[in-house]
Structures are given as C-alpha cells and as structure tokens.
Amino acid sequence: MHVKRVELSNFKSFGGATDVPLLQGFTVISGPNGSGKSNILDSLLFCLGLASSRGMRAERLPDLVNQNQAKRRSTVETTVTATFDISDVADKLIADAEDLPTPNDELLNELEISTGIVKAPEADEIEAEAAEAIETAEAAKTAKNIAIEPLPINQNGHQNGQNGNGHKNGHQNNSTATDEWKVTRRLRVTAQGTYTSNYYINDEPCTLNQLHEQLQRFRIYPEGYNVVLQGDVTSIISMNARERREIIDELAGVASFDRKINQAKGKLDVVKDREERFRIVETELTSQLERLDQDRRKAEKYKKIKATLQEQQSWEGVMQWRSHQKQAEQLTHQIAQGHREGEALEQAMTTLSAQIEATAEQLAVLNAQVKALGEEEYLALQAKLATQEAEFRQLTRQQTALADSSRTITTQIADTQAQILTQESELSTLDQQLRTLTEDQLNQLTTARDAAVTQLEAKREETAAIASQSQAWVQQQTDLRRQIEALLSQLEPQRAEQVRLQERLHQIEAQSTSQRQTLVDLRREMGDETASDDADSDNQNADQTGLSSSQAAIQSLAQTVADLEADLQIQTQTLNRLLQEQRDKQRALDKLEAQEQAIKESQGTQATETLKRSQLSGLCGIVAELGRVEPKFQLALEIAAGGRMGFMVVEDDRVASAGIDLLKQRRAGRATFLPLNKIRVPSFKPADKWNRPDGFIDYAVNLIECSSRYADVFAFVFGSTVVFDSLAAARQNMGKYRIVTLEGEILESSGAMTGGSLRQQGRLHFGTVAAGESQEAKGLRDRLTEITAILGRCEQRVNQLTLQAKEQSQTLIEARQNYREQALKNSQAQSQRQALQQRLTQAQAQLDRTDQERLSAQMRLSELEQTLPDQEQTLAQKRQVLENLETSQTHSEWQQAQTAVRSLETQLNE
C-alpha cells in the first residue's frame, strides 16, 4: 500500500487545483526555499487528520486556505484528496473498512443511549466482559510479538515489508476488490471567519474517528511515523531503546492492544466503583425500611386516635351550634343598630355637604370682592379668609371622618350578613349531624343508663347501711363541715375584700399623687396665662401699629426679591456664555496638544522620555541636548539636523541594545541610538577657504559648540551640510553641496529644494531637552486661566444672589404668614384660657373624690384587720376536730362508699 497521488485545491501556497503524482519507490520534489515543498506533507497531514493546525505551521485552520483566493471571494474552501494504491492490501482489511458504521448509524446509537433505550448491563456482566477483554488483548499481544520478524529500514526511517505496510502479504487481491482507496477533506471558510471541516472516504462522508479506525487497520497512526517530517530522523537516532521500542510497537500494531487493555482495566475500575455505590444504597434502603415500619405503626395508632377525635368533634359541633344560635341573635340586633347609625350619618353628611357648598359659594363671592377692592381691604379680608379657611378645613375633616365611619359601618354590615349566612349553613349542617347522632346512639345510651342506675342504687343501699352503723359519727362530721363551710363563706369574702382594699389603696395613693402634680402644673400654667393676658392687653395697641408697618415691609421685600431675581438672571446668562467659551477654548487646546503629542511621537521624544525615566546607565542624552549654537545660526542648524536632533547618544552598543529591549517591554515607541564606540563619521573633502563661493558661511558641523567626545556625533548628524546666508546665493552653488540657508531652506545635492512657512511649536532646539510650546497654545492657556478666574467670581456671585433671593423670598413668605396669623392669635388665646380654667376645675373635683375614696378604704381596712384574726383561729380549731374524726376506720369505709356513689352519679349524668 502506498500513496498514489495527492490532489490539492487552494491549499496554502497552491492556488487553484494541483495534482501531485507519487510513484512507487522514491519520488523526489525539489525547489528553492519557500516554493511549497513542505506544504505537500502538510496536505497529507491535513487530509488524514494526523496533526493539528500548529503541527501544520498555522495558527488556525482558516490560515491553511490560499490567501489570494481568500481575498477574492467571501466564502472560500480548500480541498485535499489523497489516493492510496491498495492492490497489495489483504482482502480482510478492505472488508473491515466496508463494515465501519456510517455517521447516521452512530447518530442513531447516540440517540438510543440519550433516550434510555439501551439498557445498562449489570455490574457482574460488565466485570466479566472486562476480564475477558484483558485476557484476549494479552493473548493477541503475545502472539503478535512472536510473529514480528526483523524488517529492513528504508531511507524514510520506517520498517516496511514487501508490501510497504509492515507485514508480508502472501496472496493475491480478490478480483472484486478495488485498487484505490481515496480520502478527502474539505475545509469551507466564510467571510465572518467561521469554518466547517468534512471528511470523506471514497466520496462517502465519515467522521474523524471512523477515518482513524480505518487508518489503524492499515497501520497508520497519528502517533506513528508514517509521515517523516523535518527532524524526525534525528530524534529517532537520538532516542533511547524504550522509546524506539514504542515506535516498533506502533508500527507492528501491538500498541493498540495495550490501549485496549488499559480501556478494559478502566471499565473494570468503573464497575467496582458502581458495585460499592450499590452496596451503600442497599444499606441505606435497609435502614430506611426499618424507619418506615415504625412510621406504619405510628400511622395505625394515629388512625385510631383520629376516629376518636372525630367523634368528640361531632359533640363539639353540637355545642358550637347552640353557641352560634346565640351569636346569630346578637348579630341581628347589631345589624339593626348599624342601619340606624348609618341613616343618621347619611343625614349628617348631607347637612355638611350643603354647608360646604354654601361656604364655597361664599368664598367665590369673597374672592371676587378681593379682586375689586384695594390693598387695605384685601389685607382685612385676607385675615377673615384665613379664619374661614381654618373652619373649612375642620368641616372637611369632619366630612372625611363621617365618610370613613359610614364606609366602615357599611363594611361591618356586609361582613355581619356574610357571617350570618355562614353560620346558618353551619347550623343546618350541625342540626343534621345532631339528628344522626341522636338516632344512632340513643339506644346505646339508654342501656348504659339503666345499668348505671342499677349500680347506683346498690351503692346507695351499701352507703345507707354503713351510715346507719355510724349515725352519730356522721351527724357530728356533718355539723363540723357545715360550721367550717359557714366560717369559710364569711372569711373568704373578707380576705378577698382586704386584699382588694389594699391594692385599691395603693392605686388611690398613686392616682392622688399624679392628680396633685397635674393640679400644680395647671395652676402654674394658669398663673403664666394670667400674666400673659396683662401683657397682651398692653401690646394690643402695639400690634395694630405693627400690622401697618408689616404691610410696608412686605412691599419692600417684594421689590427686593424682584431686583435680586433680575440681577441673578443677568449673572446666569454671563456664566453660561463663559462656560461655552471655556468649552470651545479647551477643545481647541486639546486639539493642539494632540497635534504636538503626535509630533513628539514622530520625533521619538516620547521614547526618549521613557528612557530617561528608566535611569538606564550609559545614556548621554539626545543630540539637541549635547550642543550649543549661536542664535543667528540656530534655525539653519536645527533644520539641517532635522529628526536626528532626537537621536539618543549612548556610551556603547550594549546600552543601545538594552534601551531597545526596554522600549519593547514598555511599548513606548521607537528610538534611534548613536553608540559612541560604533559611530562612523562620513568622509568628505572640505572646500578651501580661499575657494569658497559668495554667501558661504561655513560647514554646519563647525558652527556647533559641543564637547570633544561628541564631535563624531555631530559630524554624523550634519555630514557635509553647508550654511549659506541666503537662498539666492545657495542657488548659485546648487548641486555642489547639501545647503541650508539661515531662513531654513534646504537644497539637496540631488537638486531637491525644501522651504516655506515654518511652525514654531513641536520642534526641538539646541540646548533644550523638550520641544517648546506654541504661542497659540500659550494664548489659549492664558485665556482659559482668565476664564476660570472669572467663572469662579461669577459662580460665587450667582450663588450669593441665589442665596439672598431664597432668603428674601422666605422672609417675604414668613411676613405674609405672620400677618395672616396675627388676627387669629387673640381669639385663640381666649379659647386657651377658658379651656385651661375648665381643666383646672375638673382636676380639683377629681382630686376631692379620690381623697374621699381613700379615707373610706382606710376605715374599712382597719375593721377587717380587727375581725379576721378571731375568725381564722376558730376555723383552725374546727378543722382539727374534723381531721381527728376522719382518721377513724368508719370514716374511711364511708368515704370509699361515697366516692363510688359520686362516680356512678357522674357517669349517669354524662
């Protein structure tokens, strides 16, 4: 078996369709580096699914598609087909390949397992199957190892037999078998980056697992060495004997048996785990069965108790029926009373509504009069209006209270009617149950009553016999009991009365103390009110005068508030205008700063600042920092140096390498380094001074002032650049030198000319480290600073005016409120004095009644304390005599007989 040909379509470097034939023996494909020789091996790995995308030198599977095709169309696909010549393969291997399950069969099997159709085997059956599989695999492995013979190794590093698949085939192919076996893989990639990958065997779809199973029958494994890549031969030579033995096992097919043995052992471990879990479940079920048996016995006991409870509940229902009858009569009476109260409330509500309507009409008339009258009449009516508003609110509250009360009574009536209906249904049910119980149990109760009467008569005769024997003793005991009961009937009420009087006396004393304190407080308050009345009478005339002054103050406050609001509006408009200007200026400044930042990045100054902050040893500084120049030559030399002014000068190339690594780590941009130990000065022959043309000032490198150790640096920066005084003089010598004029024009030796207007900001200058800021940016910053200061003062003024307007408005509202409330103050004070006098009179009368009650309680308590000790002594003597009588034998027998008689009487009554 060998690969006959490989067909590639849009795979990696192969655009379009390419057919690569591979003959028996050796097929050599040669070509220069990058021509795609290794891509043929990658296509075999891709088609057979023997490697991942990284194994085929790609990040993702879509990277395997030819990039030229990917750019032309939205959806592209790559297809690789490998055709094998299997004319020398055993018929059994081909028959096994045909018996492989199709994807539809696997889908049905998975569906059956997921829906529970396949029944899980018992633990014993799984364990037996696993042990049998282990034995079979070990036997096959032993037989396979015995059958292996030494095979020659070809140049590809594989062991091949006569037919190239690792074993000898000693028979001819069947006439019905095909001579070719074809494997195809198609990868489709959409424009969104998603992709689908499909495998085909002889143009029939299959899965990757099915393909690998068939390849294993042909001794082709993903872990094997059927495809020898770069470095595989070297690794085989350098590996140890054990690793080389694993390769031989893979080629001989023995490793598959080892994998099956491991799988069988794994299944056996799973079965043992399941068996252990089943034992635990069995133990738990046994203990649960015992608990359920106990629960069963409890349930039977509960059933018996429940039957008894239902019988008792039936009798309880009869008692509830009687109680409900009484409640129904009471509810009927309450409903009638509620109807009467509801009618009265409706009448009161109607009266109040009429009063409210009349008051509202009167209020509308008064409002019209207020509008027609002047300011003085308006103030007089406003006081009257405040009084009527208070009365209106009180009437409104009364109306609301009456409406709420009416709704509450209506709700109570509805609830009561619903309760009556419910109780009537319960009464009918209980009546039915009572008739049923009466009919069923009447006979039983009658029989039990007759038996109880018979027993009772017998016990009474026995008791009479015992009593006749001890008539005198019984008579004496009876007399003592009657005397004791008579004493107790007199003594117990007196004791209870004594305790009640003591408790009542404590309550009266506490109540008296509280009432006296209340009376003192009322008198003190009454005295303060009297003093206040005298003061009010003196201040009444002053109040009248204050009303007129309040009116003038109100008018003044209203004018002040209007002025403040006008000033506040002007300041707010100014503030908004300044804020808009500040936003515009800040936006322009941000734009300029962004432009300057971009210029810095292009010049490398940002990377230079990062290097300086890192404190890397060996940094000398940038070119602009290391030289000085006269002001008249500064522009010319800066233009001539250009971007080289931002180059970083370092001690040696080691420092430059460390700086580049630092910029990579911090992602701070790029920079050019000039190591002093490696810098080379460009050679040129300077013109003689006597032979210099007109306008020739000097070479640029001679006009710079720097340390001698940096002379090579500036020679590298300026080279053979010549400084001329004007553009006209420079043009006369154009092409002979690289020329820069004092105004900044550059004339290259090639003939190129550069010049024009020059922006001042964002450029490096000799003797400085950072680029200067433009005049426009400085002007914007100054204006922003000025606007910020003005905004601060303006905001402070606005806040001040807002606070003043708020305070004045609040003062105006309070003044008007005080004016309206002043008229009500005198009438309210008079009402308070009358109410306080009435409370004082009531408190004094209540205190007198409390003192009288306390004296009566003390007298009765003294009488009880004198009579109770004698009565208690007499009661103790009689109880002692009765106790002596009851200790005799006759008393014991008579008492037992009496107990039996009472017990029978109780049963008969029940």
Element (H, E) at 136: helix 123-147
DSSP letters along 225-270, please?
-SS--TTHHHHHHHS-HHHHHHHHHHHHTHHHHHHHHHHHHHHHHH
Cα distance between residue 674 and residue 620, in whole Å: 10
Question: Which CA distances in Å does 734 have to 627, 699, 740?
Answer: 28, 15, 11
pTM > 0.85: yes or no: no
Report pLDDT for 575. Answer: 84
**Tokens 């408005």, residue located:** 809
Q: Could you give the percent of the chain with pLDDT greater than 90?
A: 6
In which band, very low, low, confident or very high, does the pLDDT at 7 lie, cut at 50, 70 and 90? very high
Instruction: Confirm or reject CATH 1.20.1060.20 for domain 593-777, answering yes or no.
Output: yes
- Range of weakest confidence among 67-81, 266-280, 282-296, 301-315: 67-81
Q: Are strands 195-201 and 180-189 parallel, antiparallel or unpaired?
A: antiparallel
Cα distance between residue 305 and residue 307, in whole Å: 5
Across the range 229-237, mean pLDDT stands at 78
In which band, very low, low, confident or very high, does the pLDDT at 675 lie, cut at 50, 70 and 90? very high
What tokens does 578 get? 């300044």
Cα distance between residue 277 and residue 898, in whole Å: 72
In which band, very low, low, confident or very high, does the pLDDT at 893 lie, cut at 50, 70 and 90? low
What tokens does 560 get? 């002040």
Most confident range, picked from 165-174, 455-464, 532-541: 455-464
Report pLDDT for 439. Answer: 62
State the amino acid at position 19 in one-letter form.
D
Report pLDDT for 374. Answer: 54
Cα distance between residue 794 and residue 568, in whole Å: 10
Assess whether pLDDT exceeds 90 at residue 705: no
Question: Which CA distances in Å does 701 have to 628, 637, 674, 708, 723?
Answer: 11, 9, 17, 12, 10
Burial 254-290 (b: 16+ CB within 10 A, else e): bbbbeebbeebeebbeebeeeeeeeeeeeeeeeeeee
Report pLDDT for 199. Answer: 94
Radius of gyration of the chain (CA): 60
What tokens does 239 get? 């590996």
In which band, very low, low, confident or very high, does the pLDDT at 541 lie, cut at 50, 70 and 90? low
Q: Where are the domains of the chain?
A: 2-252, 283-444, 471-564+785-870, 593-777
In which band, very low, low, confident or very high, does the pLDDT at 143 lie, cut at 50, 70 and 90? very low
In which band, very low, low, confident or very high, does the pLDDT at 823 lie, cut at 50, 70 and 90? low
Assess whether pLDDT exceeds 70 at residue 388: yes
Q: What is the CATH number of domain 2-252?
A: 3.40.50.300
Assess whether pLDDT exceeds 80 at residue 105: no
Report pLDDT for 615. Answer: 77
Assess whether pLDDT exceeds 50 at residue 595: yes
Report pLDDT for 267. Answer: 92
**Tokens 């490697």, residue located:** 51
Report pLDDT for 728. Answer: 86
Q: Could you give the percent of the chain with pLDDT greater than 70?
A: 73
Across the range 102-113, mean pLDDT stands at 40
Cα distance between residue 453 and residue 459, in whole Å: 10
In which band, very low, low, confident or very high, does the pLDDT at 171 lie, cut at 50, 70 and 90? very low
State the amino acid at position 797 in one-letter form.
R
Assess whether pLDDT exceeds 70 at residue 528: no
**Mean pLDDT estimate for the chain:** 75
Report pLDDT for 474. Answer: 63
Question: Which CA distances in Å does 10 have to 6, 52, 58?
Answer: 13, 19, 15
Instruction: List pLDDT tens digits, range 428-460.
Output: 777 676 666 556 666 666 676 677 677 767 766
Q: What is the DSSP letter of 694?
A: T
Q: Torsion-angle region of residue 73: left (phi > 0), alpha (psi -120 to 50) or beta?
A: beta
| Fold annotation for 283-444 | Helix Hairpins (1.10.287)
Beta-bridged to residue 76, according to DSSP, are 189
Q: Helix, strand or coil for residue 671?
A: coil
